[in-house]
Amino acid sequence: MGKQSFIQGAIILILAGFVTKLLGFVNRIVMARILGPEGVGLYMMAVPILILVITLTRLGLPVAISKLVAEAEAQGDRLRIKRILVVSLAITAILSVIFTVLTILGAKMISSWFLTDERAYWPLIAITPIIPIVAISSVIKGYFQGRQNMRPSAYAQVIEQVVRISLVVLLSTMLLPYGLEFAAAGAMISVVIGEAAALIYLLTTFKYSKRKKEFRIRTGFFAQLQKGKETLQDLLRIGLPATGSGLIGSLSWTFEPILVAQSLAIAGVATSVATAQYGLLSGYAIPLVMLPMFITYSLSVSLVPAISEARARHNYALIHRRLYQALRIALICGAPSTVIMFFFAGPLTTVIYDTPEAAKFLQLLAPFFLLLYFQGPLQAALQGLDLAKTAMMNTLYGAMIKMIAIVFLASRPSLGIYGAALAININVCLVTLLHFFSIVKVMKGFSIHVQDIVKTGLAMAMMAAGGVYGFDWLQRELGLSLLWALVLTLLFAGWLYFLSLIALKMVGRQDMERIPIIGKHIAPIFPRR
């Protein structure tokens, strides 16, 4: 499993992300039907706490490892790569033990005081074993990503989801008779086992990779650790601001349900109703609008080492090209998702969740979340350019404004939970724009391509018009069920969007040639753009 180009690596991760997203939605559908809105609310209350602890444990090392390994690879320094791994594993091992213990000890207080629902205690306890598992796997993923080999990370994602889905029904159903909190805990346990399976695969792949002959981690481990002061400084220089960004996001996500619950209480909403409403927003609507995030995440993972390597070689023209490619892919892939989420919100939430009342949240979020799809690549570019601190400050400003907006808007009886959704939209727009202006400031000559936006907008309009008409025709004239009308409409609308992109020369032969394995075979049928 050797090195891939930026586009090849991104496509490998995108394909794996697509599979895991589909599997993840199966998982969410099962959870929604077994647990209901209130059970999903309990599950979602525990998840931000977990993300916060994992962020602290990882200390931003995945990004730092990927960047430093890419630079060392460009310079041919194998010993530095080993030292990076040794120091990173030592840090994450120590921190994971500390934060696992603290989470277990503090679960009671967190659930009763901060989350205002004591039933969140058992989901919190159930998820804590995942902390050391994710910490170690993130180091190994960072190593492979730094060497621009995205296959291990891609395969690990799929393994984790397959194992999780195989167990979630069994564990949640088995524990449901004991209460919703125990059923939510069963769902959490399936997540832990899935991550453990992915870690076993990563460890096996690392052990038997072709690079194993160049160095062994156990050989001279403590000797390299003692010599790792400079490496530690480099890791922290990059990792701490990256941690800051993740920590701000995690803290924001952690305090979000707390602030929403307290603000809704001020607005006169009962605790059980507030929990159910937050479940509709965070457990139903947000996962749908974040569906394309696997694409932007894949681009971001590939972009950090690609830009770091280009920067180490002082190839600034390549940096411009890589960022443009990433933003263009994010636009092309994110645009149709926005159309689908907005125009087919009711059918989607009915078919997927059997909860049509979540549609209003989906329509409120969808237009603004198109900007979120650019946020990941922009932040990755800042990190690759050694501007992780700038990305962190942008995230901080956005989080502060979001928290203030939640308190101000959600506490108003006329808005309630919709005020929380508006606050989330404000955060998305602000952080994305701050990242973009930060890039423009340091990369002279970089700008958005207005013609790409206009062409994609035209393709979106064609997709929306054809999709809405087709959906109505399928139900009115053919009398198809909601499920089949939706499936056929989305297939038709997607095909119409793709044809529009080809006609507008947004997608061409050179784009198809970059797709691994099948690209060279299908490229000749496409015109050049």
- What percent of the chain lies above the pLDDT cut of 70? 90
In 3D space, the residue among 472, 471, 465, 477 whose CA is nearest the CA of residue 489 turns out to be 471
pLDDT tens for each residue of 310-364: 887 788 888 888 888 889 888 998 999 999 999 999 999 998 888 888 899 999 9
pLDDT band at 92 (very low <50, low <70, confident <90, very high): confident
Maximum alpha-carbon separation in the chain: 75
Q: Yes or no: say if 79 and 87 are a contact pair by the CB < 8 Å rule.
A: no
Which of residues 113 and 4 earns the better pLDDT score? 113
pLDDT tens for each residue of 187-229: 888 888 999 999 999 988 888 775 545 556 655 555 556 566 6
Which of residues 492 and 103 earns the better pLDDT score? 492
What would the mean pLDDT of 246-266 be, rounded to a whole number?
78
Of 46-50, 247-251, 464-468, the poorest mean pLDDT is in 247-251
Residue 33 has pLDDT above 80, yes or no: no
pLDDT tens for each residue of 415-440: 888 888 999 999 999 999 999 999 98
Q: Yes or no: say if 160 and 225 are a contact pair by the CB < 8 Å rule.
A: no
Which of residues 377 and 30 earns the better pLDDT score? 377
**228's tokens:** 């790792």
Kind and range of the H or E element at 43?
Answer: helix 6-58
In 3D space, the residue among 16, 293, 22, 292 whose CA is nearest the CA of residue 155 turns out to be 16
Q: What is the pLDDT of residue 494?
A: 93
Task: Report DSSP letters for 281-332, one per residue.
Answer: IIIIIHHHHTTTHHHHHHHHHHHHHHHHHHHHTT-HHHHHHHHHHHHHHHHH
What would the mean pLDDT of 500-523 be, rounded to a whole number?
69
Mean pLDDT of the chain: 83
Task: Report DSSP letters for 120-160, one per residue.
Answer: GHHHHHHHTTHHHHHHHHHHHHHHHHHTT--HHHHHHHHHH
Which of residues 20 and 428 earns the better pLDDT score? 428
Q: What is the pLDDT of residue 461?
A: 95
Q: What is the pLDDT of residue 71?
A: 83
Residue 118 has pLDDT above 80, yes or no: no
Residue 105 has pLDDT above 50, yes or no: yes
Residue 516 has pLDDT above 80, yes or no: no
Q: What is the pLDDT of residue 102?
A: 86
Of 43-57, 387-401, 480-494, 496-510, the poorest mean pLDDT is in 43-57
- What percent of the chain lies above the pLDDT cut of 90? 23
Q: What is the pLDDT of residue 212?
A: 47
Residue 365 has pLDDT above 70, yes or no: yes
CB count in 10 Å sphere of residue 177: 8
Residue 299 has pLDDT above 60, yes or no: yes
Q: What is the pLDDT of residue 214?
A: 53
Q: What is the pLDDT of residue 521?
A: 53
Q: What is the pLDDT of residue 263?
A: 85
**21's tokens:** 């997203």
In 3D space, the residue among 109, 105, 107 whose CA is nearest the CA of residue 122 turns out to be 107
Residue 523 has pLDDT above 60, yes or no: no
Residue 127 has pLDDT above 50, yes or no: yes
Of 120-124, 245-249, 263-267, the poorest mean pLDDT is in 245-249
- 216 by Cβ neighbours in 10 Å (0-12 / 13-18 / 19+) ranks as exposed
pLDDT tens for each residue of 73-85: 877 777 788 888 8
Q: What is the pLDDT of residue 435?
A: 95
Out of 16-20, 105-109, 392-396, give the one with best mean pLDDT.
Answer: 392-396
- Cα gap 283→296, rounded to integer Å: 20
Q: What is the pLDDT of residue 529?
A: 60
